[in-house]
Structure 1
Amino acid sequence: MTTPILQFGTSRFLQAHADLFVSEALEVGKALGSITVVQTSGDPARAGRIGALSAATGFPVIIRGLEDGIAIERELRVRSVTRSLSTASDWAEVARVFVEEARVVISNTGDKGYALVEGDSLDGVPRSFPMKLLALLHARFRSGGASLTILPCELISRNGEVLQRVILDLASRHVADVNFQSWLSDRVIWGNTLVDRIVSEPIEPAGAIAEPYAIWAIERQPGLTLPCEHPSIKVVEDLTPYERLKLHILNLGHTVLADRWQREGRPEAECVKDILADTAIRSDLERIYRDEVVPGFRVHHLGKEAEVYVETTLQRFLNPYLDHRLRDIAGNHAEKIVRRIIGFQQWCPGVPMPRLSEIAAR
């Protein structure tokens, strides 16, 4: 058994996104092959998930929501994961798969996945994800240096370029070999990607509940290898419009609602669909989109695209089958206001945004 796709991260998001796409592509002969999933955290609480991900029977992903205004629910079986490992207990095998089998590497390591650990080194099993990745890349280089595509799925703008800079900086400090550093730039393809799917709940021990909408936008570049062909995977010339639409419409809308939820002390378990059942709150959000957000996009000649994305976003928010809790959205609220709202204002100077300015001021 060989697995040309190596995935770092076991999140419910990846289960209902990349893992599902590859599974569906395998059924029609349009995938590179199956996946080895690697747990990078070593969290013993997730030990059960590791085995369940690669069970021969697969794991369930339930798609619930609205498609063209029609309510749908369907359960799919994901069978693309054929091996699951942990860096804490299977480091030698992780390294072997990375060196001998991988053609595409996928990662989704959380909000702080690129954070470094003081005193980390290449000795033994490194502690941070970037140092682990550096160690594995160095092992691949020393074993012949076959080319490789890395597709990070972390929610970071220009995530491929950001991860490349982190790894090149670490390489300059920990590996005294200029040929290795050249290989990292010339033979490793660092893909910039954008992922978008609301995955609201896990299914234990493995599986997830997700909305119908999904996109994985990957910026085109020479030498890029895709894990599969799938209708939800879009290879695009420029990610910027996709990033801005998602960040300043979908994500901004979430933050507007989370701000209202916090400020009014609304129910702890309230979800997006619940708060929008309040017609005054829904009207307020729609006004912000119409009077402040879409005009900002018009400045950048993306007005039509913004109008369509607003309509899609509101349908996603009103999905009656997803329990997308506002308490989860409200995490790191101040930081999200800076990126999603203040960042939008800075991108669109001169566009009046009174309601968004109130939120930013708080």
Structure 2
Amino acid sequence: MTKRLSRSTQPGLPVYPERMIQFGEGNFMRAFVDWQLQQMNNQGLFNGSAVLVQPIGQGLGALMAEQDNLYTVLLNGIMQQQTVNSREIIASVSRVISPYEDYAAYLALAEDDGLEFITSNTTEAGIAYHAGELNDAPPKSFPAKLTALLYRRFELGKKGFVIIPCELIDRNGEKLREIVQQYAAEWQLGDAFDKWLVEENTFCCSLVDRIVPGYPRDKAAQLEAELGYLDNLMVTAEPFLFWVIEGPAWLSEKLPLAEAGLNVVVTDDMTPYRERKVHLLNGPHTAMVPLAMMAGLKTVEDVMNDETFLRFVQDLMNDELIPMLDLPADELTSYSAAVLERFKNPFVRHELASISLNSISKFKSRLLPVLLRYQQERGKLPELMTLAFAALLLSYRGDRVARQDGAEVLEVFDLAWSHPGSFVQTILKNDSLWGQDLTLVPGLADAIAAKLQELESTDSRAVLQQVVS
């Protein structure tokens, strides 16, 4: 019987002091941030580990503990025209804390002077305000939990943190700081805390880029035989990685990612990098998912190997996304070509179902701004984005595609879909979903209604074939 990955089966692995608090223990952060910590540690540049905090009640803490917080990252793909097929045990995670099970242990993190950094990925929906009190154990939202931890740190008279959220929302660091300050004001934590919050903590905006399909279910048995151990937490990722951090220049020395040879940029303005990535890589992902899943496709590679869906992705990028971005056309064209190559990566099984998680907030940040700009500048709606929007709304009815979103979002859709005749008006008017009343966008409600009718009367592939080049 194959033994489970642990420190007893892998003697000699180093143990690093805790230097980072990381909210989120999912596949992406373990194959992105923690993998990068490992690369710095391998070169003697960081000498630190991350203590992970479960942002929600159900998490991977118990499974991580069974493996002594070790797991394997598998990099598979083409990088600079070279095939990459690597396996590495990551030892840069110290432990996982669930504030839902041991809130005292969570707050005790404030006592450790060695902890300098805070990172997070709680999905696009995670950096949000939810009403609560300081004495909630724990507070509901991630920003509220962070506020409680920072306040405890302040009370102890200790230095602040460098805080680098990785959620894919615009100006994530600023948004997180604003919500923390909102809690501080509502909880009446005082002017001294507010001053410490601003002066002693560095909130950085950031942009992350690495495709992480996650656990390789289809190859798990084969990999177990190859690796010689059982790893229920192994995670696959593409070799490509890019991290843009908008922060002070000294951060490059304090967190020597670039010195370790990693594709990391510390800059005073991340806007051009963000627009290019969010709209040209994440946007097509979000657009393809509901249409492709309705057609029975399972992975991004399936989409790229399907002539109709490939044309959809290409036309979406070339005709609707690139013209709306304020960057040199040749740079955007080159980047989009690289994105298509990454989408076609035959070594990575990127499940459409995993991309579909929290699709409403993803559409809001990745595609809606471009759709609105297109309509404003051209006086008409972008046909492919509008079709993708309609398919997304239909997928949230729940009878076509398994929905994966927060309970509050699903309740909104269930209520709206219970009255089909008024569904389009009801859902587009809901500014809690979109940040505005979308029924005011000229022609959008009628176009969505028409696309919904088409998708209902025939399959998504047939609808696509009528609109792609």
Q: TM class by shorter-chain length?
A: 0.7 to 0.9
> Secondary structure of 1:350's match?
helix
1:131 aligns with 2:158: no
Partner of 1:312: 338
1:215 aligns with 2:242: yes
CA 350–132 in structure 1, closer or farther in 2 if over 3 Å, else same:
closer
Whether the 8 Å CA contact 2:17–2:47 is kept in 1: the answer is: no
Q: Distance in 1 between matches of 2:290 and 2:138?
A: 41
CA 189–285 in structure 1, closer or farther in 2 if over 3 Å, else same:
same
1:56-135 to structure 2, matched below 5 A, reads: 58-100=70-112, 101-135=114-148
CA 163–129 in structure 1, closer or farther in 2 if over 3 Å, else same:
same
Q: Distance in 1 between matches of 2:327 and 2:100?
A: 49
Q: Distance in 2 between matches of 1:222 and 1:67?
A: 29
- Once superposed, what is the RMSD of the aligned Cα atoms? 2.5
1:1-362 to structure 2, matched below 5 A, reads: 2-31=17-46, 33-43=48-58, 46-52=60-66, 54-55=68-69, 58-100=70-112, 101-202=114-215, 205-221=232-248, 224=251, 226-230=254-258, 231-262=262-293, 265-267=294-296, 270-297=298-325, 300-333=326-359, 335-347=361-373, 349-350=376-377, 353-360=382-389, 361-362=447-448
Q: Counterpart amino acid of 2:274?
A: E
Give 1:147 shift.
3.0
CA 206–337 in structure 1, closer or farther in 2 if over 3 Å, else same:
closer
CA 248–110 in structure 1, closer or farther in 2 if over 3 Å, else same:
closer
CA 123–328 in structure 1, closer or farther in 2 if over 3 Å, else same:
closer
Structure having the larger proportion of residues in helix: 2
Give 1:158 shift.
0.6
CA 84–47 in structure 1, closer or farther in 2 if over 3 Å, else same:
closer
Whether the 8 Å CA contact 1:189–1:223 is kept in 2: the answer is: no
- Bigger drift between 73-82 and 201-210 goes to 201-210
Give 1:139 shift.
1.2
Deviations 1:317-362 (A, max 9, x none): 1011222122333445455444333311434553584443554543
Identity score, percent: 28
Whether the 8 Å CA contact 1:34–1:81 is kept in 2: the answer is: yes
Deviations 1:217-259 (A, max 9, x none): 1002366475442412211221111111112111221133224
Whether the 8 Å CA contact 1:64–1:212 is kept in 2: the answer is: yes
CA 125–328 in structure 1, closer or farther in 2 if over 3 Å, else same:
closer
Give me the TM-score of the superposition, normalised by structure 1: 0.88
Give 1:134 shift.
1.2
> Secondary structure of 1:64's match?
strand
Structure having the larger proportion of residues in strand: 1
Give 1:185 shift.
1.0
Q: Distance in 1 between matches of 2:349 and 2:52?
A: 27
Deviations 1:88-145 (A, max 9, x none): 3343333333332311111112333234444443254333322221111111111113
Deviations 1:272-325 (A, max 9, x none): 11122122332332233233333333xx24322211210111011101122212
Whether the 8 Å CA contact 1:59–1:79 is kept in 2: the answer is: yes
Q: Distance in 2 between matches of 1:260 and 1:117?
A: 32
- Bigger drift between 81-90 and 102-111 goes to 81-90
CA 220–53 in structure 1, closer or farther in 2 if over 3 Å, else same:
farther
Q: Distance in 2 between matches of 1:355 and 1:117?
A: 34
Q: Counterpart amino acid of 1:83?
A: R
- Bigger drift between 185-194 and 204-213 goes to 204-213
Q: Distance in 1 between matches of 2:54 and 2:23?
A: 6
Gaps of 5+ in 2: 1-15, 217-230, 390-446, 449-469
> Secondary structure of 1:324's match?
coil
- Bigger drift between 283-292 and 316-325 goes to 283-292
Gaps of 5+ in 1: none
Q: Distance in 1 between matches of 2:356 and 2:257?
A: 35
Higher RCO, 1 vs 2 (CA within 8 Å, ≥6 residues apart)? 1
Q: Distance in 1 between matches of 2:133 and 2:64?
A: 25
Give me the TM-score of the superposition, normalised by structure 2: 0.69
Q: Distance in 1 between matches of 2:48 and 2:235?
A: 22
When Rg is computed on C-alpha atoms for both structures, the one with the higher figure is 2
